[in-house]
């Protein structure tokens, strides 16, 4: 199967923070891969803009090293890298001062697609928007790409939305949630709305419950100081897991159009019931012994804050209060230093109303599991007869589909979320970006939960590194007669 490369118009993409970690690990290697795929038009320019005192050549050298490290071994082609680097330019700039802005104004063209990627600390987002406007660089057609986190709570998100709205219309603002750029996440919509098989069953009558898991094996490491002001609820739940929940729970949009899709997602967020303390468990990883005998730091050591009450894990049960989902809980969990690196959505179906086989032992519920990582794909478990002459005994088998296998050579080359999203920006397609009202609604749901913890002085439960999280989180499902799916190593 050959994937189609849809050409884009000539563009100037300015990456504020072009020398930073995100630019080096994701943005520049992603753009290079799009170049390899034939999607970079002649005359397109990528302009790094950051504090470091570099010239074009210095930025190209940095990008060459980043591509070497992060673009993948199979993509290393010296000639192609050289051609790609010709698209790169650099302006040393100070987001908080006057330095560099006139030069940027002189370089950026007004007659091509203009995009400004804010890959800098969130405290600079508002200032960049203002200066782009003040220096007459942006036009009514420019697009700005805003990284996460978008606000720290509802108040700060509203303030940021207002600052951006003073200079850019909503149609110009691309708020990144890179989970939405993942192939599987988009496939969730294809599976639901392009097949007759699932959608008729997609409701509380047939679905017992839904589990969403985003488990990481790494700790907060070098990001400890930043993370300690945020925590799993703000860093992952309010945005990534919430977006996944929306795609599962939303009504079919009338068409695959940015506002039609985002309207339906917004309705889901607004329909979420508040979550009380009995339906949420927070955790914080303890220290542990590593296999090599060296000690592994605990969360409070990583955060360099012995009194920290910040959670590195959160699990919750939430109900979507509408006709479709009445009675079907959504269980969400995410955490660091867990047993395995797994991101998965599991749709667990109900029992058949009556068993004609009498073999209850072998019976398991049907589960549609959508894997985001590792090995993006889908798995549907179905019951069949156990092979052999032993009578009608039931057994569960997977109908497993790895996208990489199913799509052949091309599938092994599934584009990274960032490269897809950046090209969507250039094309002017906002479907996979969060709208301002969505972000605010998500904070409006999150804020009271966090406020409750703060008021009660709630202490996160400890959990061992390499475990599945705190024991109490198991109880969230056990008390409902259900169990979490295993987090595989
Ligand atoms: P970083 O600290 O590695 O890089 C910051 C960049 O901003 C550098 O290029 C620096 O030169 C530039 N910069 C800093 N102050 C400046 C100023 N006053 N004027 C002009 N440029 C200035 O940060 P990062 O990890 O690349 O993160 C960038 C953004 O992306 C942040 O909003 C972060 O939350 C978000 N993000 C990062 C990651 C990641 O994996 N690194 C993941 C998700 C989101």
Q: How far is CA 428 from CA 141, 151, 229, 432, in A?
A: 10, 24, 34, 11
CA 161 to chain centre: 20
The owner of tokens 């009675």 is 327
pLDDT for residue 294: 65
CB of residue 147 inside a 6 A radius of ligand 1: yes
Q: Determine contact, residues 215/343, Cβ cutoff 8 Å.
A: yes
CB of residue 52 inside a 6 A radius of ligand 1: yes
Look up residue 279 and give its DSSP letter. Answer: G
pLDDT for residue 291: 59
Q: Which of 120, 175, 418 to mutate to test the pocket of ligand 1 (most atoms within 8 A of CB)?
A: 120
Please give the number of the atom of ligand 1 that sits closest to the Cα of 24.
26
CA 248 to chain centre: 15
Cα(17) to ligand 1 centroid in Å equals 5
pLDDT for residue 482: 96
Q: Determine contact, residues 470/334, Cβ cutoff 8 Å.
A: no
- Whole-number Å distance between alpha carbons of 374 and 378: 11
pLDDT for residue 486: 93
Q: Which of 22, 98, 147 to mutate to test the pocket of ligand 1 (most atoms within 8 A of CB)?
A: 22
Residues in the chain, total: 489
Residues forming a β-bridge with 175? 146, 434
CB of residue 120 inside a 6 A radius of ligand 1: yes
Over its length of 489 residues, how does the chain's per-residue pLDDT go in tens digits?
Answer: 556 777 899 999 999 999 999 999 999 999 999 999 999 999 999 999 999 999 999 999 999 999 999 998 888 999 999 999 999 999 999 999 999 999 999 999 999 999 999 999 999 999 999 999 999 999 999 999 999 999 999 999 999 999 999 999 999 999 999 999 988 888 899 989 999 999 999 999 999 999 999 999 999 988 888 999 999 999 999 999 999 999 999 999 999 999 999 999 999 999 999 999 999 999 999 998 765 556 789 999 999 999 999 999 999 999 999 999 999 999 999 999 999 999 999 999 999 888 888 766 777 889 999 998 887 888 999 888 888 887 788 888 888 877 767 766 555 567 789 999 999 999 999 999 999 999 999 999 999 999 999 999 999 999 999 999 999 999 999 999 999 999 988
Options 134, 209, 240, 354, the catalytic residue = 240
Cα(465) to ligand 1 centroid in Å equals 29
Is residue 240 part of the annotated active site? The answer reads yes
Q: Determine contact, residues 20/5, Cβ cutoff 8 Å.
A: no
Cis peptide before 227 (omega within 30 of 0): no
Closest CA to 233 of 53, 75, 446: 446
Q: Determine contact, residues 363/355, Cβ cutoff 8 Å.
A: yes
Cα(100) to ligand 1 centroid in Å equals 18
Cα(14) to ligand 1 centroid in Å equals 14
Q: How far is CA 127 from CA 14, 115, 124, 252, 434, in A?
A: 15, 16, 5, 38, 21
Q: Determine contact, residues 317/476, Cβ cutoff 8 Å.
A: yes
CB of residue 62 inside a 6 A radius of ligand 1: no
Judged by DSSP in three states, 377 sits in strand
pLDDT for residue 1: 52
Phi, psi of 218 (to 5 degrees): -80, 155
């Amino acid at each position: 199967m050959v994937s189609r490369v849809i050409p884009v118009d000539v563009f100037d993409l300015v990456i504020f923070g072009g020398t930073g970690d995100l630019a080096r690990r994701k943005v520049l290697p992603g753009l290079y891969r799009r170049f390899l795929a034939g999607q970079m038009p002649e005359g397109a320019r990528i302009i790094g803009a950051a504090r470091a005192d570099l010239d074009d050549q210095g930025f190209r050298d940095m990008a060459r090293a980043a591509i070497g490290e992060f673009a993948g071994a199979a993509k290393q082609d010296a000639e192609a890298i050289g051609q790609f680097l010709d698209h790169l330019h650099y302006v040393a700039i100070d987001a908080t001062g006057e330095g560099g802005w006139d030069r940027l104004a002189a370089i950026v063209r007004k007659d091509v697609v203009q995009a400004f990627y804010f890959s800098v600390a969130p405290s600079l987002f508002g200032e960049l928007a203002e200066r782009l406007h003040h220096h007459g660089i942006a036009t009514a057609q420019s697009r700005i790409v805003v990284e996460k986190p978008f606000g720290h709570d509802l108040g700060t998100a509203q303030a940021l939305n207002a600052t951006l709205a003073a200079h850019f219309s909503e149609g110009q603002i691309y708020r990144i949630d890179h989970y939405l750029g993942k192939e599987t996440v988009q496939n969730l919509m294809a599976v639901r709305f392009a097949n007759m098989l699932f959608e008729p069953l997609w409701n509380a009558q047939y679905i017992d419950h839904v589990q969403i898991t985003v488990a990481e094996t790494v700790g907060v490491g070098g990001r400890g100081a930043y993370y300690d002001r945020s925590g799993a609820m703000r860093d992952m739940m309010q945005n990534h897991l919430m977006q996944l929940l929306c795609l599962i729970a939303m009504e079919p949009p009338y068409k695959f159009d940015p506002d039609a899709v985002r309207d339906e997602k917004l309705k889901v967020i607004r329909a979420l019931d508040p979550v009380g303390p009995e339906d949420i468990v927070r955790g914080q990883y303890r220290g542990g012994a590593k296999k090599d005998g060296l000690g592994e730091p605990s969360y409070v050591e990583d955060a360099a804050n012995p009194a920290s009450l910040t959670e590195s894990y959160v699990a919750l049960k939430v109900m979507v209060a509408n006709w479709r989902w009445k009675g079907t809980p959504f269980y969400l969990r995410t955490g660091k230093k867990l047993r395995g690196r797994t991101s998965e959505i599991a749709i667990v179906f109900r029992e058949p109303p009556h068993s004609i086989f009498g073999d209850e032992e072998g019976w398991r519920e049907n589960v549609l599991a959508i894997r985001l990582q590792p090995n993006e794909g889908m798995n549907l478990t179905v019951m069949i007869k156990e092979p052999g002459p032993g009578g009608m005994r039931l057994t569960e088998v997977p109908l497993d589909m790895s996208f990489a296998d199913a799509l052949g050579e091309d599938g092994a080359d599934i584009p990274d979320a960032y490269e897809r999203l950046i090209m969507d920006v250039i094309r002017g397609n906002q479907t996979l970006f969060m709208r301002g009202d969505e972000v605010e609604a998500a904070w409006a749901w999150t804020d009271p939960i966090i406020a409750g913890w703060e008021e009660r002085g709630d202490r996160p439960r400890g959990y061992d590194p390499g475990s599945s999280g705190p024991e109490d989180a198991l109880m969230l499902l056990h008390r409902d007669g259900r169990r979490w799916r295993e987090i595989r190593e």
